[in-house]
């Protein structure tokens, strides 16, 4: 199984600041066939279901604000949230769908000061 | 508009079989590339993928549940099902179903249900 190591466990920032969440996979998620990285990011607000933010490591899902930016390739990936808003209070998860079983990172809790 | 809704027993006893239903609209499991996945989340903890079923009846399971899982579908009624045999307290969680499509969003879960809470207790 591919192990997804996500960091940090939690972070607290003020509105307007930028945050970076990291995800490292135990194997490369880069497909040699299409040169795509099979890494997605989800946001889960309190009491809600997860919401897809990013897929293919850097492609924003329709309707997701452009302050959510995914980057990285191979085994190292980053979700950057610029100009954090109060509404961004949530848990964030990475997911690898390169191979079965699909595996999630352990999550990052974002708190707003 | 894609919607999904999970339903289940709410509470069941150890060793019983958990049966979950996902009723969806806005897509069809008879359409090329479509699928439904099941994911669970214990209270206050992270997400665990359980199984996927695809339009062509191809199925994938998380081997960590050691053959306890069975996923199936009823295309005509827009439903997908998940059974977990021999449950114990570790299966207490919120269970989500989600739409997956190989031609949309790289085939990851792009629309989720609200979740069904399941408690295993004697």
* Per-residue pLDDT tens over the stretch A92-108: 999 999 999 999 999 99
Strand B79-84 to strand B18-25: parallel, antiparallel, or no bridges (unpaired)? antiparallel
Whether residues B106 and A52 touch (CB distance < 8 A) is answered with no
Give the model's pLDDT for residue B105: 80
Task: Tell me what the mean pLDDT of segment B100-122 comes to.
Answer: 93
**Over 90: is that where the pLDDT of B9 sits?**
yes
* Per-residue pLDDT tens over the stretch B16-70: 999 999 999 999 999 999 999 999 999 999 999 999 999 999 999 999 997 999 9
Whether residues B112 and A105 touch (CB distance < 8 A) is answered with no
What is d(CA A97, CA A103) in angstroms, rounded to the nearest whole number?
A: 7
Band of residue B106 on the pLDDT scale cut at 50, 70, 90: confident
Q: Which residue, chain included where needed, has tokens 């408690």? A: B119
Tokens of B6: 């999970």
Q: How many CA atoms lie within 13 A of B91 on its CB side?
A: 26
Q: Decide if A72 contacts A66 (C-beta within 8 A).
A: no
Distance of residue B94 Cα from the nearest chain A Cα, in angstroms:
10
What is d(CA B87, CA B29) in angstroms, rounded to the nearest whole number?
A: 28
Mean predicted lDDT score pLDDT of chain B: 96
């Amino acid at each position: 199984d591919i192990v997804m190591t996500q960091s940090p466990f939690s972070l607290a920032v003020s509105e307007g600041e930028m945050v970076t969440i990291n995800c490292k996979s135990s194997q490369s998620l880069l497909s040699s066939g299409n040169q795509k990285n099979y890494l997605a990011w989800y946001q889960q607000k309190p009491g809600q279901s997860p919401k897809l933010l990013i897929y293919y490591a850097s492609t924003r899902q329709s309707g997701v604000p452009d302050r959510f930016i995914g980057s990285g390739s191979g085994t190292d990936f980053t979700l950057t949230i610029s100009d954090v808003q109060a509404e961004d209070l949530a848990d964030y998860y990475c997911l690898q769908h390169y191979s079965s079983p699909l595996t999630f990172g352990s999550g990052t809790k974002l708190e707003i000061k | 508009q894609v919607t999904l809704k999970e339903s289940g027993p709410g509470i069941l006893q150890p060793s019983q079989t958990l049966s979950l239903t996902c009723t969806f609209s806005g897509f069809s499991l008879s359409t090329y590339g479509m699928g439904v996945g099941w994911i669970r989340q214990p209270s206050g903890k992270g997400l665990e993928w359980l199984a996927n079923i695809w339009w062509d009846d191809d199925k994938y399971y998380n081997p960590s549940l050691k053959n306890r899982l069975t996923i199936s579908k009823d295309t005509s009624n827009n439903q997908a099902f998940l059974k977990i045999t021999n449950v114990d307290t570790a299966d207490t969680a919120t269970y989500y179903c989600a739409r997956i499509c190989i031609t949309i969003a790289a085939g990851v879960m792009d629309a989720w249900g609200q979740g069904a809470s399941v408690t295993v207790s004697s």
